[in-house]
Amino acid sequence: MDLFTAITLAVFLPFIMAGILPAAEKVLKNRIGWYATATAFLSLLLVARAVPSVANGENIQGSIPWLPSLGIELSFYGDGLSIMFGLIVSGVGILIMAYSNEYMSKREDLSRYYRQLLMFMGSMLGMVFSSNIIQLFIFWELTSITSFMLIGYWRNRPVSVYGATKSLLITASGGIFMLAGFLVLNIITGTFDIAAILQNESMIETIKGHEFFLFALVLILIGAAAKSAQGPFYIWLPNAMEAPTPVSAFLHSATMVKAGIYLVARIHPIFSGTDAWFILVSGLGIITMLAAGFLAFRQKDIKGILAYSTISQLAYMMAMYGYTTYQYPGIGVAAATFHLLNHATFKACLFLIAGIVAHETATRDITKMGGLRKDMPVTFIIGSIAALAMAGVPPLNGFLSKEMFYESSLEMGHLLGGPLEYLIPAAAVLGGVFTFAYSIRFIDGIFLGKRRSEHLPKHMHEPSLIMLAPPAFLAILVILIGIFPSVAVHYIIEPAVSGILLQEVHLHVSLWHGFTAALMMTIITFIAGIALYTKYDAIAAWQDRINVRYPWFSINYAYDRIVNGAQGKSAAFAAVMQPGPIKPYLVALLLLLLVLGAIPAMLVATTIIPADLNFDIPLYEGILLGLIVIASLGAAILRKYLHAIIAVSAVGYLVSLVFIYLQAPDLAMTQILVETLFTIIFLLVILKIPQTFRENLTRSVLARDLLISSAVGITVLVLLLNSTQGIAAPFESIAYYFIENSVPLARGHNMVNVILVDFRGYDTLGEIVVLCLAGLGVYNLIKSRSDSK
């Protein structure tokens, strides 16, 4: 199996396995989680096969035609960046699915849970390996949809539904902006293939000089920011914490929220090296980093703390990917990529620990915890390792990438000069201080201090090995990458950075490299962080007070106003558009007919009434028409339903006589039959309703109705008079085509029928679909009425 096939299989395997999962569940019952774990493991193996060759600089590329006429094909591209994401997604996937075996109660709908997890994993793999941007968009939205389903896994909890809806509204609509950006990119380049753009330097130059450059960049960045919870779009991530904790660990810390970061890294070669890139990406990153780090203080939910820390950590990566100047387009790329990998390890670990703690203490409120180190020493150690890695303490992996973050911030500041030379490193340190404070909070609040026994169950103990092993594995990775970074750097980070910078890169990462400015910044971070931690509760209380005093000072407030307002507006709109009684609908339809009929007629009119009209009507024809007029008047004037219906039927039968007179037996027969049937149905209906019109018609309503109906009547009359001459004269009749061709082409002598079933068969198919739907609609309307009684 060549590597392209392996990658394709790695993407589609989870989907296939999700498809046959319900069947497997019949056999495996409660052990179905191991089936999903095995699937993730297979995907990991398939992705891992590509590591050596990609590390040697040989990228994987290939495609399968899909919609060739639109230039859309199923094409996969595996460079270092994709492979790194592929490894994170499938690797963390294994741990999450294994952990879920114990975390999820056997009473839950396990089939749905694992099916959605597998579909998510497949979509995520598909997204990172997509070469075609339309395909990337499809997988991107698929991750949003599966995330929506997994956040709302507990469907009967209103908070879950709220969180799920919020995440879908924000991430999926961000995706639409991204699609628009991709289309702009396509307008500039004429291709949908990212790999083709990346491999073509002159094309990248064209994009950077193009007038739509900023337009495309902003649109794509909106999608990335919405997905990675950056800037004002951050609000969905805290609410997404209502998902089962393994889902939060998988989607909302390690993988899906990094999709936006992936996109930024993917388009980095195309857009970086410009001022706009630095201002937008780094600006967004730095602001989000500081704001989210600060807002983490008032979180009492342990998963809430982790959510805000995830937003802030993702913002680090954003800021670093944004560091760019014309000469040095990728200052922070290596640091950001390394931090991305490290964050996936320690943050997933922290979520799994949070899951264990919540499982054992039956609460997620950090103010009710404390002193758990005695009950759960192993959990305490693993959790502390991960939290210290997040805080950037040596010799853990977070320390290394935090140092690199400081270094790149210093370098960027130095290159820009002016006040920014100090402001950018200062912002970086401040972000680090916040991170340090909430990381310590996580350890201190849960495991250290005095045990608040009044809130906690009496017996708490270590979880089983199945729940402990995945976070333990991640904690070991955290230590190993920290002490021996060279393996991960050589096989994963260097190829990924090469993929972004489009050139061979060699990195040297080590724990100790002398008393550098970055090390000084780290030491400042620790001192300031400890100092800040002593004021932690005071700051949290102050934030709470602000929140109570100025409730409108939050993005969530705006979101709720917009969403709830939209519901109100829709209801008001629906009340206008669908008032209930039939008459307004009829008025709308007739007015539309007027617009559609009268306006074009006016535009092409030469003579409204054709000059050569023949008013010489035979007597019996005149009698027939006179009777029709009388019956129509009766239908309009009679006050009792029964009488009115008989009058309407009389019109119908008389019209069928006209058809016979005009030698149209098909029409006449149809008219008689339909009239008969509908008279019977009418009679069935009026037995159940009041026998007399009750509506009080005022003069003005009557005048309006009369005006509309006569206008429609006159329009139809004029159109009919002109159907063969007058204003219709410029148009040739299509009747002759059917007259000439119905026998030779369709072997039918009844032209009406030939048109219905052959020449216009498509129309007829549409009509019978409408007939079926109308039947179902009427039936259910009647049924719902009798049910509600």
Partner 1 sequence: MTTLITKTVSKACVPIIILFSISLLFAGHDYPGGGFIGGVMFASAISLLYVVFGLKYIDSIYSYQWDKWFASGLLLASLTGFGAMLFGYNFLRSSYLLASLPLAGDIKLLSTTLFDIGVYLVVIGSLLYVFKGTGEDE
Contact residues for partner 1, defined by CB under 8 A: 665-666, 669-670, 673-674, 676-677, 680-681, 684-685, 688, 746-750, 752-754, 756-758, 761-762, 764-765, 768-769, 771-772, 774-776, 778-779, 782-783, 785-786
Q: b/e map of 360-385 (b: 16 or more CB within 10 Å)? A: bbebbebeebbebbebbeebbebbbb
**What is the spatial distance between Cα 120 and Cα 131, in angstroms, rounded to a whole number?**
19
Tokens standing for 325? 């100047």
Tokens standing for 364? 């997620």
CB 129 within 8 A of CB 7: yes
Minimum distance of partner 1 from residue 667's CB (angstroms) = 9
- In this complex, which beta carbon is closest to partner 1, that of residue 681 or of residue 735? 681
Tokens standing for 726? 């007058």
**What is the spatial distance between Cα 91 and Cα 732, in angstroms, rounded to a whole number?**
69
Minimum distance of partner 1 from residue 685's CB (angstroms) = 6
- In this complex, which beta carbon is closest to partner 1, that of residue 679 or of residue 709? 679
**What is the spatial distance between Cα 89 and Cα 44, in angstroms, rounded to a whole number?**
8
- In this complex, which beta carbon is closest to partner 1, that of residue 665 or of residue 713? 665
- In this complex, which beta carbon is closest to partner 1, that of residue 540 or of residue 672? 672
- In this complex, which beta carbon is closest to partner 1, that of residue 523 or of residue 673? 673
Minimum distance of partner 1 from residue 756's CB (angstroms) = 6
Q: Which amino acid is at 341?
A: L
- In this complex, which beta carbon is closest to partner 1, that of residue 716 or of residue 751? 751
- In this complex, which beta carbon is closest to partner 1, that of residue 552 or of residue 762? 762
Minimum distance of partner 1 from residue 578's CB (angstroms) = 21
Minimum distance of partner 1 from residue 658's CB (angstroms) = 16
Q: b/e map of 532-544 (b: 16 or more CB within 10 Å)? A: bbeebeeebeebe
Minimum distance of partner 1 from residue 68's CB (angstroms) = 18
- In this complex, which beta carbon is closest to partner 1, that of residue 550 or of residue 737? 737
- In this complex, which beta carbon is closest to partner 1, that of residue 697 or of residue 768? 768
**What is the spatial distance between Cα 167 and Cα 184, in angstroms, rounded to a whole number?**
26
Minimum distance of partner 1 from residue 687's CB (angstroms) = 10
Residue 448: CB atoms within 10 Å = 14
Q: Select from 89, 161, 79 the least CA-distant residue to 123.
A: 89
Q: What is the DSSP string of 134-174?
A: HHHHHHHHHHHHHHHHHHT-STT-HHHHHHHHHHHHHHHHH
Q: How far apart are the first and last CA of the chain?
A: 65
Task: Determine how β-strand 72-78 pairs with β-strand 60-67.
Answer: antiparallel
CB 92 within 8 A of CB 346: no
Q: Select from 353, 388, 258 the least CA-distant residue to 310.
A: 258
- In this complex, which beta carbon is closest to partner 1, that of residue 539 or of residue 642? 642
User: Residue 263: CB partners within 8 Å, gap ≥ 6?
Assistant: 178, 220, 223, 224, 227
- In this complex, which beta carbon is closest to partner 1, that of residue 543 or of residue 741? 741
Run of H or E residues at 430: helix 420-446
Minimum distance of partner 1 from residue 65's CB (angstroms) = 19
> 67: which strand partners?
72
Run of H or E residues at 688: none
- In this complex, which beta carbon is closest to partner 1, that of residue 523 or of residue 768? 768
Q: How far is residue 585 CA from its own chain's centroid?
A: 35
Run of H or E residues at 77: strand 72-78
Q: How far is residue 186 CA from its own chain's centroid?
A: 22
